[in-house]
Copies of this chain bind each other. A is one copy, B any other.
Amino acid sequence: MLDDRKLAVLRAIVEDYVSTNEPVGSKALAERHNLKVSPATVRNDMAALEEEGYITQPHTSAGRVPTDKGYRLFVDRLSQVKPLSAAERRAIETFLAGAVDLDDVVTRTVRLLAQLTRQVAVVQYPTLTRSTVRHVELVPLSERRVMLVLITNTGRVEQRVVELPEQVEDTRVAHMRAMLNACLDGCGLSSVPELVSDLPERLPPEDRPVVATILSVLLETLVERHDEKIVFAGAANLAGADFSTGLRDVLEALEEQVVLMRLLGETSSDTPAALTVRIGSENPYLRGTSVVAAGYGSGDNQLARLGVLGPTRMDYPVTMGAVRAVARYVSQILAAS
């Protein structure tokens, strides 16, 4: 049904349309790409492609524009991820190397990605649930208050103030801290509820209410932060582009953690680090945009996702190259720290 030349025509249409932002006609197409056939032939192919739903014309007697289906075919079969230039790779490396803590890594990453792709970049914070406890700290603030600090192996720090039901001396706090660390150190966060479930029972009765209070806050922290934090950058890049769904909708989606999460998508368990591309109507909520995302994380376990969001009409090979490269570098950084 679709011979090689028709595919070549589709590829050419996508490439031209992406670079010019104007519907591309048969004549211009035949000469710009050396297809070695006449415009008339191209027209026939275009008619076939349109018949199949890969391209469409905005109105009669205008050039053709790729449909979501067309982009999909292009991404899947007609294009190759374009690797970054050496200069770009160096820039990434040096820029990310300067990060001092997890917050900084994430902030730098999202800015870097935005600048590299000239789109809106989105980065999800490493998921708590898949990381492990590195340390639990109890800091006495006053007689009846302690601050609970949870440090994970990804460098993430969560803290909460705990109001204690009774007055507790510092030595007892220190003891509880030792207790907690002995119990939890190195364990996966998802197994924490299980591990602490019988902890109060193993303690002297007088400690139980206090420890129970602390544990309830700890568990609450785990649950609350279960839905993950997401940051974005490069909103200014939206100014130029035009979205079928208004600019307002896009900006609103960016500030809605939940929507953003859905857009980034879940890490598919089989090929965790692979690039995911969602084109136009394939996206939940935001149908006028495309999302290119990838998982990242230290070593084998994927911690979270990052990606960019842009108009359907984007340069997929380049964008995919940038996302993939950044995901890899961030993974390296996290693994090293």
Q: Is A254 an interface residue (CB 8 A)?
A: yes
Min CB distance, A142 to chain B, in Å?
10
Are A135 and B147 CB-contacts (below 8 A) given A239-B251, A255-B236? yes
A157 and B155 within 8 A (CB): no
- A151 in contact with B147 given A139-B137, A236-B251, A251-B235 (CB within 8 Å): yes
In contact, B252 and A161 (Cβ under 8 angstroms):
no
Q: Which residues of A (207-247) have their CB < 8 Å from a CB of B?
A: 224, 233-236, 238-240, 246-247
Report if A134 contacts B (CB, 8 A). Answer: yes
A77 contacts chain B at the CB level, 8 A cutoff: no
Q: How far is the CA of A247 from the CA of B247 in the complex (A)?
A: 11
Please judge, given known A-B contacts A137-B149, A139-B135, A160-B100, whether A238 and B251 are in contact too, CB under 8 Å. yes
A238: B residues at CB distance < 8 A: 251
- A59-113 with Cβ < 8 A to chain B: 100-101, 111
Query: Quick one: which of B111, B141, B236, B255 contacts A248, CB cutoff 8 A?
Result: B236
A57 sits at the interface (CB 8 A): no
- Identify which of residues 131-160 in chain A touch chain B, using a CB-to-CB cut-off of 8 Å: 134-135, 137, 139-141, 147, 149, 151, 155, 157, 159-160
Q: Which residue of B lies closest to A174 (CB)?
A: B174
Chain B residues with CB below 8 A from A140, complex form: 135
> Please, which residue of chain B has its CB at the minimum distance from the CB of A251?
B236
A337 at the interface (CB under 8 A from B): yes
B101 contacts A161, CB within 8 Å?
A: yes
- A191 and B178 CA atoms in complex are apart in Å by 33
Interfacial chain B residues near A233, Cβ < 8 Å: 255
Residue of chain B at shortest CB distance from A254:
B235
Alpha-carbon separation in the docked complex, A254 to B233 (Å): 10
Name the residue of chain B whose CB is nearest to the CB of A136.
Answer: B139
CA gap between A255 and B248 in the complex, in Å = 18
| Minimum CB distance partner of A181 in chain B | B139
In the bound complex, do residue A240 and residue B248 qualify as a contact, i.e. CB atoms below 8 Å apart?
A: yes
Residue among A240, A251, A337 with max Cβ neighbours from chain B (10 Å): A251
**Nearest B-chain residue to A100, judged by Cβ:** B160
Q: Which residues of B contact A255 (CB under 8 A)?
A: 111, 233-236
B135 lies within 8 A of A101 (CB): no
Query: Which residues of A line the B interface, CB within 8 A?
Result: 100-101, 111, 134-135, 137, 139-141, 147, 149, 151, 155, 157, 159-161, 224, 233-236, 238-240, 246-248, 251-252, 254-255, 337
15 chain-A/chain-B pairs, Cβ below 8 angstroms? A100-B224, A134-B141, A135-B139, A137-B137, A137-B139, A137-B149, A139-B151, A157-B159, A161-B337, A234-B255, A235-B251, A236-B251, A236-B252, A239-B247, A239-B248
18 additional A-B pairs beyond A101-B161, A240-B248, beta carbons within 8 Å, are A100-B224, A101-B160, A111-B255, A134-B141, A135-B141, A135-B147, A137-B139, A147-B151, A149-B149, A157-B157, A161-B337, A233-B255, A234-B255, A235-B235, A236-B251, A236-B255, A239-B246, A239-B251
